[in-house]
Amino acid sequence: MDLGTIIVLGAVVGAVAILFWDKIKAWASKVYNFITDAINAAIEVVSSALVYIAKGVGKFFKQIKVYIMDRFGKVRLETQKQEISESEIPDDILQELKKKHEVMVMRIKE
């Protein structure tokens, strides 16, 4: 390529960029907002996990609760609950659950 061709191509590219500058800016702004929104959503702090073992009607559950605060100070609670078998519960905790269950049943009967 000679210098004249390079200059002409540069002018054409410059002219095209000027013609589409508003569209280019709008696209860049949209992409920038998308990226910053994704980053902002990722900036969160998490509380210590609260872990429970609970007895339902003939079932046992393990449950975890975590409070999450986003960068704007909005807090939400994330909870997961899963049924477990009685054999998965340590004996001391199982005995405690059964005693608490008996007390609750006696209160209901009164």
What pLDDT, on a 0 to 100 scale, did the predictor assign at position 16?
66
For the segment 9-37, the average pLDDT, to the nearest whole number, is 75
Comparing 4-8, 58-62, 88-92, the range with the smallest average pLDDT is 4-8
Highest mean pLDDT among 32-36, 74-78, 84-88: 74-78
- Structure confidence at residue 13 (pLDDT): 67
State how far the Cα of 86 lies from the Cα of 44, in Å rounded to an integer.
Answer: 36
Q: DSSP string of 14-63?
A: HHHHHHTHHHHHHHHHHHHHHHHHHHHHH-EEEPPPEEEEEE-SS-EEEE
Distance of alpha carbon 97 from alpha carbon 94, whole angstroms? 5
Domain borders along the chain are: 1-42, 44-110
Q: What are phi and psi of 57, to 5 degrees?
A: -75, 100
Is 80 exceeded by the pLDDT of residue 81? yes
Give the distance, in angstroms, between the CA of residue 82 and the centroid of all CA atoms in the same chain. Answer: 19
CATH architecture for the domain at 44-110: Roll (3.10)
pLDDT digits over 91-108, tens only? 888 888 888 877 776 777
pLDDT tens digits for range 30-69: 887 887 777 766 677 778 888 877 777 778 888 889 888 8
Q: What is the model's pLDDT at position 1?
A: 65
